[in-house]
Structures are given as structure tokens and as C-alpha cells.
Chain A
Amino acid sequence: DTGVSQDPRHKITKRGQNVTFRCDPISEHNRLYWYRQTLGQGPEFLTYFQNEAQLEKSRLLSDRFSAERPKGSFSTLEIQRTEQGDSAMYLCASRGGGAETQYFGPGTRLLVL
């Protein structure tokens, strides 16, 4: 499968724990996005990378959230001190330079107990 992949697909954690998700974009795509999606809502933008540079970050994003893309390939999203309100689907998407079309991964579904 040469599409966007995410790991894990599901994560259950207790409130206060840290979690980390991984996204592997389509190999030639230099742009990578993280979104959060809750039930009945569209994907909500979290952050955006072009190569290894984090160019945009949502103002709504708590400082408990951090993302990296150290070598311009895969990316990680970490949530520290998780809260029940963090329960959601976390989607990653990538796109190639010069094209607007984004391709989504299958998502990581997080449940914070």
C-alpha cells in the first residue's frame, strides 16, 4: 500500500498519560497535515509541515500537543497529560508540491478514559 499510513489505528489511555501517534505520508509528498475529527464534525486543522519545517499551527492547539517531522518524511504527534476532551480521531494527510489534493491516512482513534 503506497498511501498514507498511521499507527496505531486505535489507542485507549487513561487521563494524564502521554500518547504519541505516527504518520507515514506518501513517499514523494513534502507537505503533511494533522487534523482532529470528532463525531459529526469535519476534520479540524491542527498543524502543517512542509518538509521538516512546521509552518502552521492552529491557534486552538493546546501546548500539550506537539508535532515533529525530523527528516521531512514521517511525522509524530504527541499529546501530553491527556484529557477526556482529547478523545477523537486524529487524521494525517499529505500532498505533493504544486498540487492541492490531500490524501488522508486511516486515522488513529484515541479514547481517553
Chain B
Amino acid sequence: GENVEQHPSTLSVQEGDSAVIKCTYSDSASNYFPWYKQELGKRPQLIIDIRSNVGEKKDQRIAVTLNKTAKHFSLHITETQPEDSAVYFCAGGGGSYIPTFGRGTSLIVHP
């Protein structure tokens, strides 16, 4: 089955800096890679996703890049704000789509 590794587990940045979270996956058949943001005590919410036929996708301050050859994808957040502080999860999967989630990255943005 799919194995998704996520790094780092904790990321601390100053407001205004950029943050990058990286994930690797094992199953070459995986073709859909979402990123979720989970605030304390709340449900995971989709913030951006990318499909395997695209190398990069951007939505305002958030972007995701995908390298299918190397089997890794990354989340980029620019101009971070304190409200970006949360746990971020990547996931991979394909076929009938049973996603495998990474262990999460706790992002702390210091004002």
C-alpha cells in the first residue's frame, strides 16, 4: 500500500516568512495529493490539492508542487500570518482513492 512521509514534524517561522512542508510517497499509481489544515479541536479542511498531471498549483499565498519522478510534493506558504498556525497534513492515493495521510506538521507563526 501507499506510504506517505511528511517533514518536518514542527516548523516555527516569523510572521511574513515563507514556510515549506515536504511529503514523499511510495505508490507510483497515486494520482491525487491534497493538503489539509487542522486547527486545534477542529476538523481537517482542504486548503489545496494537486493531480498527477500538473506540476504546480497556486492559490493566493499557498502553492503546491509535485515531482512525480522523485515521488515528492511540497506545500509552500508565503507571507505567513499568525492565523496560518495549525497542523498541516498531506495525503496521497489513487485508484479507488483510499488516501494515506502523513503524520502532520505543526506550523507555528510568531507575530
Contacts and interface: CB of A to CB of B under 8 A. Distances in A.
B61 interface: no
A42 B96 contact: no
Interface stretch (A61-69, A74-82, A95-103): A95-103
The binding surface of chain B is classed by DSSP as: strand
B43 A106 contact: yes
Given A40-B103, A40-B104, A42-B89, A104 B44 contact: yes
The interface centre, meaning the residue of A42, A56, A100, A103 with most chain B CB atoms within 10 A of its CB, is A42
Contacts of B101: 42-44
Contact of A106 (B42, B46, B96): B42
Interface of B: 6, 32, 34, 36, 42-46, 49, 51, 89, 91, 93, 96-104
Interface of A: 4, 33, 40-45, 48, 55-56, 91, 95, 100-107
